[in-house]
A and B are shown apart, each in its own frame.
Chain A
């Protein structure tokens, strides 16, 4: 499945993450900013990639600005961004959630 337009979910508040998806690229390209990138950078990228894969998205540009979000928050914000990017906000994919 391809992303057709840019979409964002999340805020820049402490313990949140702002995930922005845009069309394009080969594969999934994640640009991550995080204060805990040394400790959790790979895990954050893996969580985002996992959600995208669950939606069948194989190529996207991802900008993620992390403010120390927990894993469940990262996944929830990514799900919301994907649903917005795919224009399916009123059709939640329960099997992904």
Chain B
């Protein structure tokens, strides 16, 4: 197995970190907004859209997701798709589980750790 070049590792790390920041901020925003199904039932689709777009954390999340998208485009420009896509997708699952526990205070129990690990290996195998 050939070692991963530091530049390649840096590109994958950039995708994984920006994606994790985006997912966590978006999740935090949606938790602060509340159940969208209930808001839509109460104030209609416009009310639900207004509730989402009036949350600054949501835009911070979208900013990092956009950054992650462009980091992935940059990585794909230098690395092969069969390496960059599965590596970033599977590592993001693990970093999100860690970030979910630390920042969102989610109950990441043994079941979720095991699930994240299985899905991570599964995504890796699927891309080969």
A-B complex is real: no
